[in-house]
Chain A
Amino acid sequence: MVEARPDASETRARATTFAPEPVRRKSGTVEALRSAAAYLARMFGPGELGSPRVRGVAGLSGTVAALAMILRLFLPEPVGMADQGSGHQLVCSLGLRNVRPWGYQDFAQFIHPGWVPQQYYGEGCGFPGSGEPVYSSQLLLLWLGKWLTPVFGWGSGLDTRAVGIVCCVIFGALVAGLVVALPGRTLFRVLIAALVTLVMADGVFSDFFVSPYAEPAAFLGTLALSVALLHYWNGRGPRWASALMVVFAAAFTVWAKPEMVSWLPVVAFALLWLPVGARRRAEAERALPEGSLREGPDGGPATAVGEAPAVGLAPPGRAPRRWRAFVVPAAAVVAIAAVALAFLAEQPKRATEVNLYNTVFATILPSSPDPAEDLEWLGLDRSFLTAAGSSMDSINSAVYNPRYPQFGEQINLGKVAAFFVTHPERLIGLGERGISALLTPEFSYAGSYLADSGQGPGVKERRVPLVLGLYTAMKAAPVALVGLHFLTLLLGFAVSARRSSGIGRLAVVMVTGCWAQFWVVLMMEGQPGIHSQMIVAGFMSALCVPLLVALVSILASTSRPQPQVS
């Protein structure tokens, strides 16, 4: 029997560590910089891009991250994201009612974390205007918070501060998972995890932890998916298990919010981008007689991390069987697609109608050079022109037009998508508005503090304003955001191609996922909700920063032959 392991001496010679590139000329300043870079590379650089086990450090990192988030949210006083009225539609399904002022102004200017038991009838619970049930994976976090609320002495219902603690603990677990899944030396992994923690700790994101909104599920789901994909690409352990992790993480993420379904094509692409080991195994299968493949001791491939694939060794006339490597990921893609479609099918019809209304009347028509022609293209009567720029609640809303039933007959998601495909010039202005919204992640109208905190109405907390500061600076030159994305994407491709590292792939997936999220929100949610809905794309953009640090660190280090170990 022939073992699938490629030539050992050849592969060992290719195992590498990375150190800073030497500079061309030596001068005092340059030498000092080189020394500094060398020091930083020794201390924080990725080193060997293998995946040695660092469970102790990972557990410690996760614990510190969770504690840091808890301290950040609760000291010296609790902070959160004030509900704008949409929290009820989700939390009410747990049989709870918010204890808060009746008037909207008083309500939105402070956080009101207390929810008490309430039995609902008819349309009192669910999506506003129809009472249809609203689903989200956030309900799982809310349910855990409800279970913990009496434990913390916050009454018998739900206190969103308990949900905040649940989110912090889950975030800590994900940071631990990230440290395990990242490649390179321990300090490098901890550095990247710390940067991710700093991103999450910015109030524009972390304040959502203490709120009834579904955003925490979207944020944590995105991180969970990142960790699961890294693990999948690392190729350690049974591949079906790592693919199953991706399925669970993707299902949780997609079920957070309807627009998170934009992850679907990106996750499909990520899953079909086979792990390095699987690719090698498929190549090795091509090269060997049937039945001659042997697995490594951990059930994975019989090649070491960093080894080169045995490409081009297939004897002439042997039928390739690469498709086998795609069975598990393809099954995972089908499972995630089924989950996503099931979620979309359960979306309130009223929510879809509101989104379509906003897209047509608040996004397409107001920015149109010829609204009448657009109405004709969309199959709507010219009398709807008076509703251009309106929302459903406006005085000039199209719902008061006797021909409004025509809107339901003519407009659907497919038609809106077709409109943008046939009017690509509209995407320019739309994109500009979207970038502006993404770079304005703070909900200025929603307060961060409790009503009895002594803080004024609507006051925002900015304890860790790193992302807010970065985005505010970028607003001076919004093209910098596009630059950040493209740089991350290119370096991601470079790292995935040159270093065969999952972190490069993750960068590619994060950027493309962010773009998918960005355009889905722009085209399907409409102008009125653009600021609030762009927050997840803003989070994914912010994650490009730690990814970029990792990618630059890896690429800035040069390969050096490893000492041979027999």
Chain B
Amino acid sequence: MGDCHLIVSPEQFDAVSEPSPPVACGDAHTAQTFKITQVPTPLAGRGTRPGQQELKTVTARLCDVASLRKYLAAGERDGTTGLVIAAYAPSRDDWERGARAVRCDVLVAAKDGTPLATTLDLRGVMAGPDSATLRLCYRQEPVGSGLSDDGVDVPCTEPHTGEDISAWFNLDGSMTTPAARNARCLPYALQFLGADVLPAGIVLRPVIRTVGNAYTVRCAVGPLQSQSSPSTITGTLAPAGGQKHG
């Protein structure tokens, strides 16, 4: 666990078994192993390796998001972006020799899924100053004297107006006003910030995401905007990370 790998093609990503040898995590890499587990029975009892679809179904269950968040040291309120999970079973020869280990890797990826090379060690990264790379933030556009309801997803290392705090709700009749949405998000924001009250200069800035006919409120926090020019920040507002006002 903790080994780093360089996976650069979709075919390597989709391979059933390990497609790349380990590289030093200090060197450029795109994937890091966050969990090693075993194929469960009854699949493990087969003499020949099961097919790709069966293995992918099982390994998708084994390489779970909860295990990944634990590896990253992500708290309950830490929203992440650009993380993709890949799972690799033993090769056919190794399987016939009795190997049943499954390797779970996490990749840092761009929006279109292309893996991004990094030199970061992802173990515990969400608790450290480099977490902004993986945190989900929103960039909203100025509309009149305020900001748009929705925003573009960006990593928090890019200029943004709000930071996701991993609390999403359906937009129902009880949350039609900004005040109602802020009230719903406030406890989660305080949990995210580790504070009893909102610090000065930080406000609640939930975004409304529309997918088809579904409207979702995504709770977020951001810097207080001046009336004349909306400001952006880079970095994270999480207590462990650093931020810069833009």
Chain A residues at the B interface, C-beta cutoff of 8 Å = 85, 88-89, 92, 97-98, 101-103, 106, 118, 120-125, 128-131, 350, 353, 392-393, 397, 399-400, 404-405
Q: Is B11 a contact of A129 with CB atoms below 8 Å?
A: no
CB neighbours (8 Å) of A98 from chain B are 9
Closest 9 CB pairs of A and B: A124-B19, A129-B52, A102-B114, A124-B12, A102-B113, A123-B15, A399-B53, A103-B112, A123-B17
CB neighbours (8 Å) of B18 from chain A are 121-123
A355 to B: closest C-beta gap in Å: 14
Chain B binding surface SS class? loop
Q: Is B10 a contact of A102 with CB atoms below 8 Å?
A: yes
Q: Is B112 a contact of A101 with CB atoms below 8 Å?
A: yes
Q: How far does the alpha carbon of A404 sit from the alpha carbon of B42 in the complex, in Å?
A: 13
Q: Is B53 a contact of A392 with CB atoms below 8 Å?
A: yes
Q: Is A123 a contact of B19 with CB atoms below 8 Å?
A: yes
Q: A97-B9, A122-B18 are in contact. List 7 more A-B contacts (CB 8 A).
A: A97-B8, A102-B114, A102-B115, A124-B11, A128-B14, A129-B52, A399-B51
Number of chain B residues whose Cβ lies closer than 8 Å to a Cβ of chain A = 27
| Interface flag for B20 (CB, 8 Å) | yes
| Interface flag for B41 (CB, 8 Å) | no
CB neighbours (8 Å) of A120 from chain B are 12, 19
Q: Is A124 a contact of B20 with CB atoms below 8 Å?
A: yes
Q: Is B19 a contact of A122 with CB atoms below 8 Å?
A: yes
CB neighbours (8 Å) of A130 from chain B are 16, 52, 92
Count of A-B residue pairs with CB < 8 Å: 75
Q: Is B9 a contact of A124 with CB atoms below 8 Å?
A: yes
Q: How far does the alpha carbon of A122 sit from the alpha carbon of B18 in the complex, in Å?
A: 6
Q: Which residue of B lies closest to A101 (CB)?
A: B112
Q: Is B51 a contact of A131 with CB atoms below 8 Å?
A: no
Q: How far does the alpha carbon of A393 sit from the alpha carbon of B56 in the complex, in Å?
A: 11
Known: A103-B112, A121-B21, A131-B17. A88 touches B9 (CB 8 A): yes
Q: How far does the alpha carbon of A122 sit from the alpha carbon of B89 in the complex, in Å?
A: 11
CB neighbours (8 Å) of B110 from chain A are 102
Q: Which residue of B lies closest to A357 (CB)?
A: B51
Which residues from 137 to 162 on chain B have a C-beta closer than 8 Å to any C-beta of chain A? Answer: none
Q: Which residue of A lies closest to B5 (CB)?
A: A121
Known: A102-B113, A121-B19, A123-B19. A393 touches B8 (CB 8 A): no
- Hey, what's the 0/1 contact readout for B107-135 against A, CB within 8 Å counting as 1? 00110111100000000000000000000
CB neighbours (8 Å) of A118 from chain B are 8-9
Q: Is A129 a contact of B16 with CB atoms below 8 Å?
A: yes
A/B interface sample: 15 pairs, CB < 8 A: A88-B11, A92-B11, A101-B112, A102-B110, A102-B115, A120-B12, A122-B15, A122-B18, A123-B16, A124-B9, A124-B11, A125-B11, A131-B91, A400-B53, A405-B46
Q: Which residue of B lies closest to A124 (CB)?
A: B19
Q: How far does the alpha carbon of A392 sit from the alpha carbon of B55 in the complex, in Å?
A: 13
B163 to A: closest C-beta gap in Å: 26
Q: Which residue of A lies closest to B53 (CB)?
A: A399
| Interface flag for B174 (CB, 8 Å) | no
Which residues from 44 to 61 on chain B have a C-beta closer than 8 Å to any C-beta of chain A? Answer: 46, 51-54, 57
- Hey, what's the 0/1 contact readout for B1-32 against A, CB within 8 Å counting as 1? 00000001111101111111100000000000
B41 to A: closest C-beta gap in Å: 13
Q: How far does the alpha carbon of A486 sit from the alpha carbon of B54 in the complex, in Å?
A: 47
A461 to B: closest C-beta gap in Å: 26
B195 to A: closest C-beta gap in Å: 40
B108 to A: closest C-beta gap in Å: 13
Q: How far does the alpha carbon of A353 sit from the alpha carbon of B52 in the complex, in Å?
A: 12
CB neighbours (8 Å) of B20 from chain A are 121-122, 124
CB neighbours (8 Å) of B115 from chain A are 102
CB neighbours (8 Å) of A101 from chain B are 112, 114
Q: Is B112 a contact of A106 with CB atoms below 8 Å?
A: yes
Q: Is B54 a contact of A400 with CB atoms below 8 Å?
A: yes
Most chain-B CB neighbours within 10 Å: which of A98, A102, A106, A130?
A102
- Hey, what's the 0/1 contact readout for B83-96 against A, CB within 8 Å counting as 1? 00000000110000
CB neighbours (8 Å) of A92 from chain B are 11
CB neighbours (8 Å) of A131 from chain B are 15-17, 91
Q: How far does the alpha carbon of A343 sit from the alpha carbon of B11 in the complex, in Å?
A: 24
Q: How far does the alpha carbon of A123 sit from the alpha carbon of B88 in the complex, in Å?
A: 10
